[in-house]
Amino acid sequence: MGNKIPQSNHQATKEAVKDPFLPRTGIFCYPNYKMTTSEGLKNTVFHTAIIGAGASGLMCAGSFPHRKILIDHNTKPGVKISISGGGKCNFSNRFVSAADYVSENKHFCKNALAAFKPRDFLNLLNENHIRWEERTHGQLFAFNAQDIVQMLLKRAQKTGTRILTHTQVLDVRRENNLFLLDTSAGSLRAERVVLACGGLSFPELGASNFGFKIAEKFGLHLIDPRPALAGFIFPKELRSRFCQLAGNSLKAAVTCGKYSFEEQLLFTHEGVSGPAALQASLYWIPGQPVQINFLPGENALTLFYTQKNHAKTFPTALCGKLSAKVAKTILGKQNEDLSNATRAELETAAQALNCFSFIPQATSGYTRAEVTAGGVDTRQINPSTFEAKKTPGLYLIGELLDVTGRLGGFNLHWAWSSGFAAAQALAKQF
Ligand SMILES: Cc1cc2nc3c(=O)[nH]c(=O)nc-3n(C[C@H](O)[C@H](O)[C@H](O)COP(=O)(O)OP(=O)(O)OC[C@H]3O[C@@H](n4cnc5c(N)ncnc54)[C@H](O)[C@@H]3O)c2cc1C
């Protein structure tokens, strides 16, 4: 599959048409789109109510017909998509496979990933003349994340979705074979409910614990949620030493247990971030040490021996490999005379460069984590339909589930795949 995807449709497609229509509050609609009123809601039994107009909810809504409603408490749908990938949306990855996901039930994601591949999303973009490109490591990016949101909204509209924004769902309960939803705009009824309310990351973008709360209410067990794809916070003693490096970045290898990532590393005021640290954070268990190799592919001890008669100090021996400021900070007191250094001193310095080990105080938390790892235990969910095994009619998709992708487009791809799989199942229901 991988090789058949071209690297970009940049040349082949027209400039995407920008839809300026995004109201700030209330019921979202496209031109000619029938407005929904709270009264109308009360008297309608929807085929499906989808809670959360984020990535998975929008994909699900646009992938099956039938009278449905998509509800979000944000004033605009798809807010996270809009800002993802720095506004360019790293929407998928050419090399998606089950191995790119962390879950206590590692086979769960396979069916959905097989049924909706990166190529399928690219087909949607091409059909809608949306430009995209492939970057390093197979990462697929749009040129403007907003184009993707608008494409998803257009699909949802075409398949008969009423989109209700600025409306919080407060509760979901079962009543006479229907689901009753209490919302801030009144109550409504639906034959099926899809929980697409995401995880806890970035509360300012609408993240809430609502999905977890309702899942638990319906008897579903949670794998402890934790912030992931987040930076590490240094322990106090390292923070004061390293804070002067905030803003500096370099290529490094960050290792957590058996997982190692060689990518850019960024020093922050409180620790380290950047792709290498974010990737490692997905595998980190509190209390576990993390190692940084600041000279990946290079043996620092050999380098010091080679330089012993040429370079005066440790930092000058590292000239061209690390900036003097970074080298001095990492080595601490080891920036003195290299030619007179003892073997033990050389080994200590080499160890600091090749295997700098620390126990993070924490990750930077939900306010800055790109995703929530853990979530609803997928052993209670049908892997083909995403329906809760014990509650027919209740579907769960996206980040809410205990399936978390690595950095590089895998989480949005999971949102598309799981949303699509649930939609296929829902389409067959009537
Ligand atoms: C800053 C940032 C950048 C990211 N960049 C990328 C990237 O480039 N590539 C990638 O693969 N992944 C990226 N991610 C991760 C990705 O965006 C998420 O994994 C994905 O959006 C999850 O989709 P979802 O549908 O499960 O949840 P979401 O997209 O979070 O949608 C959940 C929706 O539910 C709504 N909601 C919650 N509670 C309620 C309630 N009670 N009532 C009504 N509505 C409710 C929320 O407002 C939200 O709109 C990024 C995440 C962040 C935070």
Residue 66 belongs to a domain with what CATH number? Answer: 3.50.50.60
Ligand 1 centroid to residue 395 C-alpha, Å: 17
**219 and 272 share one domain:** no
**198 and 291 share one domain:** no
**61 and 116 share one domain:** yes
**32 and 179 share one domain:** yes
**112 and 188 share one domain:** yes
Ligand 1 centroid to residue 201 C-alpha, Å: 8
Is 118 a pocket residue for ligand 1 (Cβ < 6 Å)?
no
- Which of 84, 194, 416 is the best mutation target for the ligand 1 pocket, counting ligand atoms within 8 Å of the beta carbon and taking the most? 84
* Residue 368: inside a domain: no
Range of the domain at 252: 232-363
Is 375 a pocket residue for ligand 1 (Cβ < 6 Å)?
no
Neighbours of 397 (CB within 10 A): 34
User: Where is the domain boundary, 317, 336, 363?
Assistant: 363
Determine contact, residues 51/210, Cβ cutoff 8 Å.
yes
**218 and 281 share one domain:** no
pLDDT in tens, the chain (430 residues): 344 566 676 553 333 333 223 333 344 444 334 435 566 788 889 999 999 999 999 999 999 998 899 999 999 999 999 999 999 999 999 999 999 999 999 999 999 999 999 999 999 999 999 999 999 999 999 999 999 999 999 999 999 999 999 999 999 999 989 999 999 999 999 999 999 999 999 999 999 999 999 999 999 999 999 999 999 999 999 999 999 999 999 999 999 999 999 999 999 999 999 999 999 999 999 999 999 999 999 999 999 999 888 877 888 889 899 999 999 999 986 557 888 889 999 999 999 999 999 999 999 999 999 999 999 999 999 999 999 999 999 999 999 999 999 999 999 999 999 999 999 999 998 6
Is 416 a pocket residue for ligand 1 (Cβ < 6 Å)?
no
Q: Which positions ≥6 away from 250 have C-beta within 8 Å? A: 264, 265, 294, 322, 326
* Residue 52: inside a domain: yes
**CA distances (Å), origin 267, targets 117, 232, 407:** 35, 10, 18
User: Where is the domain boundary, 315, 345, 363?
Assistant: 363
Q: HSE-up of 247 (CA within 13 Å, CB side)?
A: 2
Ligand 1 centroid to residue 202 C-alpha, Å: 8
Number of domains into which the chain is organized: 2
Q: Can you list the alpha helix ranges (DSSP code H) found in 269-354?
A: 274-281, 300-307, 314-317, 324-331, 343-354
**353 and 398 share one domain:** no
**Ligand 1 atom 33, closest CA:** 52
**24 and 147 share one domain:** yes
Ligand 1 centroid to residue 83 C-alpha, Å: 10
Atom of ligand 1 nearest to the CA of 59: 25
**131 and 240 share one domain:** no
Give first-to-last CA distance, the chain, whole Å.
Answer: 33
* Residue 12: inside a domain: yes
Residue 340 belongs to a domain with what CATH number? Answer: 2.40.30.10
Collapsing DSSP states into helix, strand and coil, what is residue 10?
coil
**414 and 345 share one domain:** no
User: Where is the domain boundary, 363, 391, 415?
Assistant: 363
**Ligand 1 atom 52, closest CA:** 370
Closest CA to 429 of 61, 50, 175, 64: 64
Is 92 a pocket residue for ligand 1 (Cβ < 6 Å)?
no
Ligand 1 centroid to residue 416 C-alpha, Å: 12
| pTM (predicted TM-score) | 0.91
